[in-house]
Amino acid sequence: MRSLHRLFGIAVLLVASTSVLLCPASHAVEHAILQRHCSKCHTGDEPEGGFHLDMLGGGVTRDSREYWQSSMEYVSLGDMPPSEDSKVTETERQQIAEYIRDVVLARDADVAADYQIPTRRLNNREFANSISDALGIEDPGTHFPLGNLLGDTLHDGFDTNGDVLGISEYHLEQYVDTVREIVDAIVLTGERTPSQRYEVPSALLQMSSLNQRTTRRQSAGRNSDSLEFRDMRLQMSFENFKEVPTTGYYRIKIRATGVDRGYYDSEQTGVYDGDPIRLSIHFGDRVRTYELPDNEVKEIELTEWLAKGTRIELSYPTDGLRKRGNGNFKFQQSIAHDHIKENDPELYEKVVSKIRPKKAGGRNLRVNHWSYWVDYWRGPRPRVFSADVEGPIYKSWPPERQVALVGESPNAHNAEEILKPIAERAWRREVRDGELDPLVRLVSMRQKELGDLEAIKEGIVAIFVSPSFLLINPEGASHPDRFATKLSFFLQSTLPSDALRDFVRAGKLDDYPSVRNAIVEYFTSNRGDEFLDEFPQGWLQLDRINFMAPDPDHFAHYHRKGVSDDMIAEAKRFFRHAIETNMPLPEMLTANFSFINADLAEVYGVDDVPEDSILRRYEFTDQRRGGMLGMGAFLTLTADSLGTSPIHRAVYVLENFMGIKPSPPPGDVEIQEPDVRQAKTIKEILAAHIAEETCASCHRSIDPYGYAFENFDPMGAWRDAYVQVSVSEPVSEAKVPKRKKSVEKQFELPIDASATFRNGNSYDDIVGFRGLMRDEANQKQFVRCFVKKLLVYANGVEPEDTAAVEEIVLKSAENDYRIVDTIAVVVDSPLFREP
C-alpha cells in the first residue's frame, strides 16, 4: 500500500500551497506550464494527494527534490495529469514531462555539492569474505567462528543499508571473540602434532537420531558392509572420529554409491529419475556435495584444512521423499507396502502375517501403515561403505598459512613489520605513520606472559576490531583507495586485492570504457559471482518468499518439493543470463522465456521439460509468462497463503520494477479484511474501498499495476477462475473425528484481470499488461528503477541527486539500456565515485 500514498502526496501538494505559502508565488509563475495543467487539483487548501504546486519551489533544492522526482515519474508514466478528468493531449503531456526533466537536470548547486556516502559497518557476509581474504584463508573456518555474530537486518531486501547495520558494544564483543577464534585456527602455538590415521569400517559408521534420546539403536539401513540413508533427515558420522583433535589438513576418503534410483515410480517418491543421488560432506558450515554413480562405488577423496573441534557429517540432500501424509519422511515408507503388494505377493503375505495385534490399550494400525514397512524401503538413497581420515597433515612446520601471515619465527620486537602488511590489506589503505604504535605496544605488553606468537595474535585481533576494517571507507583515505574498496565490495563483497588497488591508483579505471572492461572481466572470470547472487536476492526481496507461504493443504506441491528454492534459483539464473548476454534491461521484464525445471514446470503448467531438477531455458508461447513479470518468486511472495492481493502485487511492481514508492494509507482508513469464505471477488471487495474518494485518488494510480496478475494463484500457477474454499477449524477440539475429513465447500467465481491506467491505456489481462509494459515510458521507468536499486546496493542509501540518476539513464539509453553497460555507467557516475 505504501506506493499509493506518494501519489496522493503529489496530488495534494499541487493544490495546497496557496494558503500555506511555502514559497513566494513568483515560483509558481516560473512553471507556467505546470500552472496551466496541474493547478486545478494541486492548489488550494486541500490539494489532491497532499501535493501542492508550491512545494516545487523555484527549482530543485534539497527540500523540493523529492517532489520534483515524483512529479517527473508520474507525468512521464502518464498517470498525471490523469486522463479521466483533464483534456490534456499526449503532446502536451510530453511537453510537461520535458519541462520537468529540464528543471531537474538544471539542478541547483546545493544538491550536487556533496556526493560523499556515509560510512557503514560490514555486513556478516562481507565480514566473512574480507577477513578470509586479508588472512589468506579459504573461509573463516570450520568451527563456526561466526556463530555468535548478530544477524544483519535487511532493508528493502538489501543487507547493505547503512542505517540498519548498527554497531553496539554487543557487536564489538562478538567481533573480538570471533576474530580470536579465526586467528587461533591459523596461527598454531605449541608442538607439531603427529599425523594419525582413522579407519572407519561400515560398523563404525553411525546415523544420528531424530530422538534426543540416543540410546535407541538405529537398525534400519545397516547392511553387513555398509550403512544407508533410509531417512534423509538424518546425518551420518564416524564413531571413532567424533571431532577434529588438532587444527591442520585432513585427508578424507569416503567410499559410497547410489542405489535404487528409479526403483519406485518418481511420481510416488518425488525424486526424478533424471537426478543423480548425491552425498554432502559437512565440515562445520563448509559443505562439499558429490554426485554418486548408480551401483558403482565412488571413491571420494578430499583434503581440507579443519579447525580443532570440527565434526565431519554426511547427509543426503534431496527435495523429494515428502509426498505422503503431512510431508514427514516416515509416511513415505508406506510406498514399500504398495510396491510389494503389487509386485511380490509372496513377500507381502509374509510381512502381513507377522503383524501381531497390539496388546490391550494399543491402537491397531492398518497393514499399510508405514511402520511395518521400514525395513523394506527401497527408495533412492546413498549407501556408504567405509571412510578413512588421516591428519593432521602439515606440508611443513610451522604450517604454510601461518608462515605466510606472520613469518617463520616471529618475534614481538618485529611486531610492526609483521602487522603492517596485514593491516594494509585489512584496512584497504596505507598505514599512517605511528598508527600501529598502540598495537605494537599491545604486543610488547603481552609478550612477557604469552610469548611472541600469542602476543602477535593479540595485535592481529586488534587490526580486525578496528573501525578501519569493520567500517567501509570511514576516513579520508586517498580517492583511488576509496574507489577500489567500493568497487570490490560492490561486485565481490570483499576488500580489494592489491592488484585492483594498484590498477586504480595507476589511473586505469578513470573513464567509462575502462570501467566497462573491468566489469566485463569480473563477470566472465566468476569474480563477480557474489554480485550475481546477492544483488537479485536483495532487489527482488527473495528473502520474503516464504513469509506468507502458500497454504500447505491447497498447494501441497510447493511444500513437498521445496519449490521456493527452485523459484529463487530461477530468478537468479535469469539474472545471470541477462548479464551473460548483456540483455537490454526492459527485456528482462517481459522476455518470453525463463529458466525452469520439472518442479517449476508443474507450477507453470508446462509438460515438455525433462524429468529432472536442472534449470533450462524455456520459451513460453502463451505470452503470459516469461521474464520477471511471470516468475513464481514474485507471484508467490506477493500473495497471501490462500488468496492473492492485486494491491500487494501492484505495490511490489511499483517499488521494485517502476521505482516508485507509494505512501501508505492514512492511519484512520478502515481496511476491510479479506474473507476467503465469502462469494465475492477481490475486485468487488476493493471496489467498495475505492469508492471512497480519499482512497480513490491513489488507488487509481496503484491498482492497475496489480489486477493483471489475478490469473496467477498464490503459488503463481495459472487459474481461469477463483476456486474459493472454505476453511474451518474443528468445531470443538474436544471431539475430534477419528478420520479428520474437513468439509470444504467449493465455488467458482470468474476472474476479471482487466484495468485502466490513469493515462487512459487499458488492458484485458496479463497479455495486454505485458504489452503496455513494453512502451517507452514504462521501459525507461524500469531502467531508472534498476539504476536506483544498484545505487542502493552499492551505497547503502537511496541516491539523492535526481539529476545524476537521470544522466545515468540517458547514457544507458545510448547503449540500448543494456545491463552490463548500464552497470558500468552507474559505477562511472559521480554517485558511485563520490568525487
Partner 1 sequence: MPFSRRSILQGFGGAIALPKLESIAQAAEKPSAGSQSHRPAGTLRFLVVGNPLGMHPPNFFPKDFGRDYTMSRTLQPLEWAKDRFTVFSHTDHGMKSGHGRELAFLSGVLPETSHAFPEKNMSIDQLIARHIGSDVRYPSIHASLQTGIRMVWNANGVELKPFTDPQRLFEHLFLNLSEQEKRHQLTTIQRNGSILDAVREQFAGVKAKAGVADRERLDQFGTSIRELENRLKTREEWVGRDKPEFDISHHLEGEASIINRYNAMFDMVAYAFQTDLTRVATIAFPNELGYTDVNGVNRGYHACTHNGKDEQVVSELVAIESFQIEQLSRFMKRLDEIDEPNANGSMLDHTVILFGSGMGYGGTHSNRNLPILVAGGGFKHLGHVDTRSAAGKNMPLCNLYVTLMQRFGIERDSFNLSTGSFSLDHA
One residue of 116, 189, 240, 295 binding partner 1 per CB under 8 A: 116
Nearest distance, CB of residue 110 and partner 1, angstroms: 15
Q: Which of 13, 60, 117, 307 binds partner 1 (CB under 8 A)?
A: 117
The verdict on 670 binding partner 1 (CB under 8 A) reads no
Closer CB to partner 1, 41 or 545, in the complex: 545
> How far, in Å, CA of 769 to CA of 646, rounded?
13
Q: Which is nearer to partner 1, 130 or 226 (CB)?
A: 130
Region binding partner 1 by CB under 8 A among candidate stretches 38-46, 78-86, 249-257, 433-441: 433-441
Burial state string for 755-793 with b = 16 or more CB within 10 A and e = fewer than 16:
bebbbebebebbebbbebbeeebbbbbbbbbbbbbbbbb
Residue 690 sits in the site that holds partner 1 (CB under 8 A): no
Nine-digit cell at 184? 587461533
Among 44, 59, 162, 245, indicate the residue that binds partner 1 (CB under 8 A): 162
Kindly state the smallest distance separating residue 463's Cβ from partner 1, in Å. Answer: 9
For 217, residues 6+ apart whose C-beta sits below 8 A from its C-beta are none
Q: Give the cell for residue 472.
A: 567501509
Using CB under 8 A as the binding rule, whether residue 475 contacts partner 1 is answered as yes
In this complex, which beta carbon is closest to partner 1, that of residue 356 or of residue 740? Answer: 740
Minimum CB distance to partner 1, residue 667 (Å): 13
Instruction: Return the exposure string of 446-457: e unless at least 16 CB atoms fall within 10 Å of the residue's CB, then b.
Output: bbeebebbbbbb
Comparing CB distances to partner 1, the nearer of 273 and 437 is 437
153 is a contact residue toward partner 1 (CB under 8 A): yes
Nearest to 45 by CA among 77, 64, 6, 17: 17
Query: In whole angstroms, how close is the CB of 187 to partner 1 at the nearest point?
Result: 15
What are the cell numbers at 736? 475430534
Which residue from 196, 289, 295, 326 is in contact with partner 1, where contact means CB under 8 A? Answer: 326
| Residue 624 cell numbers, joined | 503470459
d(CA 628, CA 656): 11
Q: Positive or negative, the Cα torsion across 530, 532, 538, 541?
A: negative
Q: Is residue 143 a contact point for partner 1 (CB under 8 A)?
A: no
- By CB under 8 A, name the one of 149, 403, 749, 813 that touches partner 1: 149
Is 363 a residue that touches partner 1 (CB under 8 A)? yes
492-551: contacts with partner 1 (CB under 8 A): 543-544, 546-547, 549
Using the rule CB under 8 A, is 168 a contact of partner 1? yes
Judged by CB under 8 A, which of 46, 90, 110, 114 binds partner 1?
A: 114
In the complex, least distance from residue 90 CB atom to partner 1, rounded to whole angstroms = 43
| Three-point CA angle 332, 335, 336, nearest 5° | 115
Residues contacting partner 1: total by CB under 8 A: 66
| Least distance to partner 1, CB of residue 442, Å | 4
H or E segment to which residue 251 belongs: strand 248-259
Whole-number Cα distances in Å, 279 to 288, 318, 515 = 8, 9, 42
Preceding amide of 81 cis, omega within 30: yes
Alpha helices in 543-638 (DSSP H): 556-560, 563-580, 585-590, 598-604, 632-637
Q: One symbol per residue from 547 to 586: x for binding partner 1 (CB under 8 A), - otherwise; what is it?
A: x-x--x----------------------------------
- Scanning residues 577 to 636, which ones bind partner 1 (CB under 8 A)? none
- Residue 554's nearest CA partner among 369, 719, 311 is 719
Which is nearer to partner 1, 425 or 516 (by Cβ)?
Answer: 425
For residue 771, what are the contacts with CB-CB under 8 A and spacing of at least 6?
Answer: 763
Q: Does 292 bind partner 1 (CB under 8 A)?
A: no
Residues 6+ away with beta carbon under 8 Å from 119: 162, 471, 472, 473, 474, 475
Give every CB contact of residue 642 below 8 A, 6+ residues apart in sequence: 551, 554, 676, 714, 725, 727
Residue 441 lies near partner 1 (rule: CB under 8 A): yes
Residue of 733, 741, 745, 750 interacting with partner 1 (CB under 8 A): 733
Per CB under 8 A, the list member of 21, 91, 169, 296 interacting with partner 1 is 169
Of 438, 451, 507, 513, the one binding partner 1 (CB under 8 A) is: 438
> Distance from CA of residue 162 to its chain's centroid?
18
Is the link from the previous residue into 714 a cis peptide, with omega within 30 of 0? no
- 166 contacts partner 1 (rule: CB under 8 A): yes
* Per-position x/- string for 42-71, each x denoting binding to partner 1 as judged by CB under 8 A, each - no binding: ------------------------------
Q: How far is CA 377 from CA 90, 203, 224, in A?
A: 70, 21, 17
Distance of closest approach, residue 467 Cβ to partner 1, in angstroms: 5
Single residue of 389, 439, 642, 827 touching partner 1 by CB under 8 A: 439
Nearer to partner 1, 177 or 775 (CB): 177
CA–CA dist 639, 634 (Å, integer): 9
Residue 24 makes contact with partner 1 by CB under 8 A: no
Q: How many helices (H) and strands (E) does the chain have?
A: 34, 19
C-alpha cell at 27: 515560483
CB of 694 to partner 1, least distance (A): 23
Q: Quick one: which of 319, 352, 314 has its CA closest to 336?
A: 352
Candidate segments 345-353, 457-465, 516-524, 696-704, binder of partner 1 by CB under 8 A: 457-465
Report, in Å, the least distance between residue 341 CB and partner 1.
Answer: 27
List binders of partner 1 among 207-226 (CB under 8 A): 211-213
- Contact status, residue 626 vs residue 607, Cβ threshold 8 Å: no
Applying CB under 8 A, among 200, 205, 461, 591 the residue interacting with partner 1 is 461
Query: In 3D, which of 202, 199, 234, 238 has the Cα closest to residue 216?
Result: 234
Distances (CA, A) of 522 to 372, 487, 519, 647, 824: 56, 11, 5, 39, 12
- Residue of the chain from 118, 451, 605, 610 that contacts partner 1 (CB under 8 A): 118
Closest CB to partner 1 among residues 153, 762: 153
The Cα–Cα gap between 461 and 179 comes to 6
Closer residue to partner 1 in complex, CB, 179/785: 179
Least separation in angstroms between residue 328's CB and partner 1 is: 8
Farthest-apart Cα atoms in the chain, separation:
98
- Residue 736, interface with partner 1 (CB under 8 A)? yes
Query: Could you tell me the smallest distance in angstroms from the CB atom of residue 326 to partner 1?
Result: 6
Pairing of strands 721-725, 746-750: antiparallel
Question: Between residues 204 and 465, which has the closer beta carbon with respect to partner 1?
Answer: 465
Angstrom distance (rounded) from CA 410 to CA 795: 40
The one segment of 70-78, 436-444, 571-579, 743-751 that binds partner 1 by CB under 8 A: 436-444
Among 287, 297, 347, 445, binds partner 1 (CB under 8 A): 445
Q: Which of 262, 293, 467, 610 binds partner 1 (CB under 8 A)?
A: 467
User: Among 476, 621, 672, 720, which residue sits at the site for partner 1 (rule: CB under 8 A)?
Assistant: 476
How far is 178 from 146, CA to CA, in rounded Å? Answer: 6
The 8 Å CB, 24+ separation contacts for 760-763 are 760/78, 760/83, 760/84, 761/78, 763/708
- Applying CB under 8 A, among 259, 470, 484, 809 the residue interacting with partner 1 is 470
| Residues making contact with partner 1 (CB under 8 A) | 114, 116-121, 147-151, 153-154, 162, 164, 166-169, 171-173, 176, 211-213, 326, 361, 363, 432, 435-439, 441-442, 445-446, 458-459, 461-462, 465-468, 470-471, 473-476, 543-544, 546-547, 549, 552, 673, 729-730, 733-734, 736
